[in-house]
Structure 1
Amino acid sequence: MPVEQWDLYEAALDGPAHGNPFREVHLTARFRHEAGAGQSAAAVETTGCYDGEGRYLLRFMPHLPGTWRWETRSNDPGLDARRGSFTCEPASGDNHGPVRVRDTHHFAYADGTPYWQLGTTCYAWTHQGDALAAQTLATLAGAPFNKLRMCVFPKHYAYNRNDPERYPFAGSRQAGFDLDRFDPAFFRDLERRVAALRDLGIEADLILFHPYDRGHWGFDAMGAEADEHYLRYVVARLAPYRNVWWSLANEYDLLAAKSRADWERLGRLLRDLDPYGHLRSIHNCHAFYDHNRPWITHASVQSGRAVAGWGGAAVLREAYGKPVVFDEVRYEGDIDQPWGRITARELVHRFWQGTVAGTYVGHGETYRHPEDLLWWSKGGVLRGESPPRLAFLREVLEALPAGLEQIGHDDRTPDTAYAPGGHYLVYLGDRAPDSWPFRLPVNPGRHEVAEGARFRVEVLDTWHMRITEIPGPFTATLRTGRLAVDRAGRAVPLPAEPWQALRITPLPG
């Protein structure tokens, strides 16, 4: 059966079930593309994995249409030199391929379609059983989010004290876990949820290690050899899904059993194991990781202050020279912890602040529930006021041609961002002026405004989700101070309310 470009191809092979196949049987495959006219030859080396009961999986994500042929290598004679082939058809519909870094600070799908990250967090939703997982997916189907941060290991933390039905390793908390043997049923469940997110157009940001265990299961302190064994298995099974991102750890600096050298070793191994080059990062609690490290593709940052006011987000963006995703800026909610009780207005404000800075921001929700069904941990349903406002922001962003670039973060124009083709987005935050003097920064060689250029101006009420077009075009004229103003000296009238933004669009002629 043909497989679509960037979809999952899988071949199941019969092999030995005795002993410990997870440790004792090694299986790899070389996938070769038969180059057609105008195409270059391509080959990809992949690693197979044991799926239990004598069943071995070869998985592959083809990136080129056409015929692919594969051949195995194994230390088991029955699995060695096995061959097969399949046809890959061009991608269709909403299949744009995996997300990549584009233009230094931004993202795009493999086919070039811009990707505007608008993420949320449901750490332990895959550990709650089928009914709640189905409810979470139904909620996501109607929500604006296109990335979901989620843990592979279960979580033992406030508002999430229940043990899951299955674990990544064979065994139980009472009897102990065999770190040499995985539970394939656990990973089949995880893969079903990753595939369901893919079908919704949502990236699965998989958190590989986390500190929310503290000896309850012991997965936070397995030792270097077990960590690497786990990492190899997870990548072999899940890397062929196009919507996977890797988060090496959540709050890495709270994992006392691992040193910075451990994280560097695991980060390099993760990069080397993944034949598809999925996005990779690591998330902090107190101490920012050095996101300049070459194995890291983008910065995953916890910081509310950086996007609560002007300047902080842009500084990190410049320091790292990579896309910056503020995956945690505190959560909309009403729990006792200060990180889980900001208002919806404040969370939406932080999204807009980060957006105009040319960075990306993540959502979370922590409203109390009698059964501890908090979205941030277990999923279920969204109860907050921010999601529809974030849907409004996503619509604004997806109408732009490409990534936003903040035009300086000095005192003159910290609130203004530029997108290629002469598009501008201005965010006024908690200020409530009754007008905005039309002014566009001019940065020779980067953001230039032609004399006589005409613009449409719309006022965006980011809280009430209203768009008001201002009558008549604004015509730019250059003046000293590297600013372009309206030729007639016009200002943009505003409603004297906070949370207003301006969308400035070039007009032809």
Structure 2
Amino acid sequence: MMSKRYFLKTAVAAAVALGAVLAAPWSAAASAVVERWGSTEIALSGPSAGNPFMEVELSATFRQGARTLTVAGFYDGDGQYKIRFMPPETGEWEYETQSNRAELSGRKGTLTAVAPSAGNHGPVRVKNTHHFAYEDGTPFWQVGTTSYAWAHQTEALEQQTLATLAGAPFNKLRMAVFPNQDVKNQPPRFPFPGQPPKGWDLTRFNPEFFRHIEQRVGQLRELGIEADLILFHPYDKGYWGFDSLPADVNERYLRYVVARLGAYRNVWWSMANEFDFLKAKSMAEWDSYFQIVQASDPYQHLRSIHNAFVFYNHTKPWVTHVSVQSGAIAEDFERAVLFRDVYNKPVVYDEVKYEGNFSRRWGQLKPEEMVLRFWEGAIAGTYVGHSESYEDPNGLVWLGKGGVLKGQSPPRLAFFRKILSESPPEGLEPIDKWQNHPFAGKHAQYYLGYFGLGKPRSWPFVLFKTGLKDGMKFRAEVIDTWNMKVTPVNGTFEIVKRDDYTFADKNGRSIALPGKPYMALRIVRVDQ
């Protein structure tokens, strides 16, 4: 059975394709009413002479009682300046602007933040060390996908991508801010004014480019999808020069992006994709870029960095969670769990190869292999990301450009996400990671097991000891993860201590299994 959310998103897909699902409008500036974790915008007219991007400084201090937040403003072209605010609490907020230009400084106002509307749970945060939740406490079970350059395509193709996402199971999308030369098309707009390929004025930004990114991030927000924004990537390959900008330009770019997009609750910051392929940037430089984003973001959105072959030191305090590329680590739970223990943070295997028939080895997963990685990652207490790379005569590959999904994994991932949503809200924790025990859950309460490529015909009802006592009772279900079927097991299982490590059914019973791969078990305590 598919999740209700999956069918709901499918139902609105056509509306998205027609542009009916748009970014929520910005609230008016003064005396605005805006929902908590919504966005309001202060728009000011100011100087347009000279170079406002370099010469004008603007911010506002928002105050509620003893709490203050300082939010940077930005120049939006044509003499227009903007400051965007995402209220972290309900109630009245006062603000006052600060600027090195008199006409922009000392502007005061108030706004009222009301209770969030349905579906607005706030930004995603780290919860319980290894997991995620929205700020209101609602669990966030990450089931993400990647489409690097989807927001740099034609209007028709981008609308098609939004329609696809509306009917897909994904709640996070990794996407690049800079265009991607790998997709072999001229993007309709660029981040700097000038003439391609390299005739850029790097002292100015192109507001139209960033408005377009904002529009797409806002549309993802309306669909309930987190936008994991990749701030740098190596896929320019020197063509436009965005992969080798001077450090001072990179720093201004980061501050500008955060000022424009920080008030979107669904934003995550990914410092780079395959950061180690950007050879000109040192580890110290990456550290400084992390620190700039951290210092510039009043809302402290999640921050990560993605690797090719060299790992960043994810223990550093500005890294909120671990983003990993590995072709093999999520093939089994015993490998996948290791990064949790090393970094003691949430681990997202954002790239585990892709479903498809691409010529390169990273794009040749069978759909069964893609789904297996999600389940193995979950049993390890980690999270996994999807994409697909099916050959297309017109070059319309989801990984690069978006469009439509062609693979068989998405409906199975919708089923997987539904199973996760029925799990303990604290997150799935490995039950006995010391010795080949393919179960995660919550001790003495909930167990989710996955047998992967194994083909067991039965499973003896034996549970690891933590939290267990004689006489506890459990019910069980057999889950066919590929055919998306849940079959209850008749009766209940009452346990007794078997040895120093385990408890077992008091009558020595086993659960019958069909002897095929991709099977799972769900065991839930019933005598509470």
- Would you say same fold, with TM above 0.5? yes
Aligned pair in 2 of structure 1 residues 174, 118: CA closer, same or farther (>3 Å)?
closer
**2:482 is equivalent to residue 457 of structure 1:** no
Residue 309 of structure 1, CA deviation = 2.2
> Which secondary structure state, in structure 2, belongs to the residue aligned with residue 78 of structure 1?
helix
Q: Pairwise mapping of residues 59-98 of structure 1 onto structure 2 (< 5 A)? A: 59-98=84-123
> Which secondary structure state, in structure 2, belongs to the residue aligned with residue 150 of structure 1?
strand
> Which secondary structure state, in structure 1, belongs to the residue aligned with residue 83 of structure 2?
strand
Aligned pair in 2 of structure 1 residues 460, 175: CA closer, same or farther (>3 Å)?
closer
d(CA) in 1 for partners of 2:195, 2:34: 38
Counterpart contact for 1:146–1:203, Cα < 8 Å = yes
d(CA) in 1 for partners of 2:105, 2:436: 66
Counterpart contact for 2:334–2:436, Cα < 8 Å = no
Residue 508 of structure 1, CA deviation = 3.0
Aligned twin of 1:38: none
**2:42 is equivalent to residue 17 of structure 1:** no
d(CA) in 2 for partners of 1:203, 1:471: 40
Counterpart contact for 1:436–1:492, Cα < 8 Å = yes
Code of the residue aligned with 2:62 in structure 1: it is F
Counterpart contact for 1:401–1:420, Cα < 8 Å = no
Aligned pair in 2 of structure 1 residues 406, 79: CA closer, same or farther (>3 Å)?
same
Q: Can you list the C-alpha shifts for 1:194-227, whole angstroms capped at 9, x where unaligned?
A: 0000111100000000000111100000011010
Q: 2:258 aligns with which of 214, 218, 235?
A: 235
d(CA) in 2 for partners of 1:442, 1:244: 41
Code of the residue aligned with 1:79 in structure 2: it is L
Aligned twin of 1:104: 129
Aligned twin of 1:154: 179
Aligned twin of 1:303: 326
Counterpart contact for 1:146–1:201, Cα < 8 Å = yes
**Unmatched runs of 5 consecutive residues or more in structure 1:** 36-40
Q: 1:481 aligns with which of 478, 500, 519?
A: 500
Q: 1:246 aligns with which of 265, 269, 273?
A: 269
d(CA) in 2 for partners of 1:412, 1:150: 36
> Which secondary structure state, in structure 1, belongs to the residue aligned with residue 102 of structure 2?
coil
Which stretch has the larger CA shift, 476-485 or 80-89? 476-485
Aligned twin of 2:18: none
> Which secondary structure state, in structure 1, belongs to the residue aligned with residue 103 of structure 2?
coil
Residue 325 of structure 1, CA deviation = 0.2
Q: 1:316 aligns with which of 324, 329, 339?
A: 339
Q: 1:281 aligns with which of 288, 304, 310?
A: 304
| Alignment root-mean-square deviation, CA | 1.1
Q: 1:29 aligns with which of 43, 50, 60?
A: 60
Q: Can you list the C-alpha shifts for 1:54-110, whole angstroms capped at 9, x where unaligned?
A: 000010110111111100110001001011111110112010000000010000000
Code of the residue aligned with 1:192 in structure 2: it is Q
d(CA) in 2 for partners of 1:410, 1:101: 25
Q: Pairwise mapping of residues 98-497 of structure 1 onto structure 2 (< 5 A)? A: 98-157=123-182, 160-174=183-197, 176-402=199-425, 403-413=427-437, 415-419=438-442, 422-443=445-466, 448-497=467-516
d(CA) in 1 for partners of 2:34, 2:164: 29
Aligned twin of 2:29: none
d(CA) in 1 for partners of 2:221, 2:448: 30
Residue 401 of structure 1, CA deviation = 2.2
> Which secondary structure state, in structure 2, belongs to the residue aligned with residue 194 of structure 1?
helix
> Between Structure 1 and Structure 2, how many residues are aligned?
496
TM-score (norm 1): 0.96
> Which secondary structure state, in structure 2, belongs to the residue aligned with residue 376 of structure 1?
helix
Residue 304 of structure 1, CA deviation = 2.3
d(CA) in 1 for partners of 2:141, 2:266: 14
Residue 152 of structure 1, CA deviation = 0.1
> Which secondary structure state, in structure 2, belongs to the residue aligned with residue 347 of structure 1?
helix
Aligned twin of 1:57: 82
> Which secondary structure state, in structure 2, belongs to the residue aligned with residue 492 of structure 1?
strand
Residue 410 of structure 1, CA deviation = 3.0
Aligned pair in 2 of structure 1 residues 95, 338: CA closer, same or farther (>3 Å)?
same
Code of the residue aligned with 1:118 in structure 2: it is V
Q: Between the two proteins, what is the percent identity of the paired residues?
A: 53
Aligned pair in 2 of structure 1 residues 100, 421: CA closer, same or farther (>3 Å)?
farther
